[in-house]
Amino acid sequence: MFVLIVGAGRVGAAVAKRALARGHEVSVLDEDPLSHERLVEVEGRTWEDAGGIFTVGTALEVDALIEAGVQRADVFIASTDGDNTNLTVAQIVKRRFGIEKVLCRVMDPARAAWYAEQGLHTISPTQHAIEMFEQALGAEEE
């Protein structure tokens, strides 16, 4: 499987490394060249030696997306630190490049829910945190 990840922050980089270790082809796009540092050391090798691809560019630049391999991506993950960037780029690649599996990180639970209703696969860390706090609180009360 070819996985394209936009945004190599803590989440994006960790998901990228795990996907590569599982034998997938993985390409990462980030506007910050230094974010590459989060990708080093995959089983003792550099990102590139381990077969990973890294491209510098912003999510909305179509040229950068193409350079990063969007045209042959089976899975697309939008995990930049901006909800609006993630929601925009996720919808664009879905519509323009016809990628079926598009995952999108959205911190704002309200919009994560609404866009999920519209057919976008959103993942909201905030919503997960809220639920886990609630659960933990419930366990205290018992």
Partner 1 sequence: MYVIVVGSGKVGLNLSRELIAKGHEVTLLEADRRRYLVVEEELEHAVQYGDATELWVLERAGIQRADLVVAVTGDDEDNMLVCQVAKEKYLCERVIARVNNPRNLQHFKLLGIQPVVSATDLILRLIEHEVPRYGLVHLLALEEERLEIIELEVQEGAPAAAKRVAEVALPEGSLIISVLRDGRGFVPTPETVVEAGDQVLLVLDSGLEDQITPVFAPD
Which element (helix H / strand E) includes 12? helix 10-21
Q: Give the one residue of 21, 60, 66, 130 binding partner 1; rule: CB under 8 A.
A: 60
State how far the alpha carbon of 29 is from the alpha carbons of 20, 55, 109, 130, 138, in Å.
Answer: 15, 5, 25, 30, 40
Which DSSP state fits 52? -
Neighbouring residues of 42: CB distance < 8 A, sequence distance ≥ 6 = 17, 20, 21, 50, 52
Tell me how many residues contact partner 1 (CB under 8 A): 18
Would you count residue 61 as binding partner 1 (CB under 8 A)?
yes
Contact positions with partner 1 (CB under 8 A) in 63-122: 82-85, 87-88, 91-92, 95-96, 108, 110-111, 114, 118
Would you count residue 130 as binding partner 1 (CB under 8 A)?
no
Task: Give least dist CB 46 to partner 1, A.
Answer: 32
Residue with tokens 């630049």: 61
**Nearest residue (CB) to partner 1, 31 versus 108:** 108
**Nearest residue (CB) to partner 1, 118 versus 140:** 118
Rounded to whole angstroms, how far apart are CA atoms 65 and 97? 10
Task: Give least dist CB 70 to partner 1, A.
Answer: 14
By the criterion CB under 8 A, which residues form the site for partner 1? Answer: 60-62, 82-85, 87-88, 91-92, 95-96, 108, 110-111, 114, 118
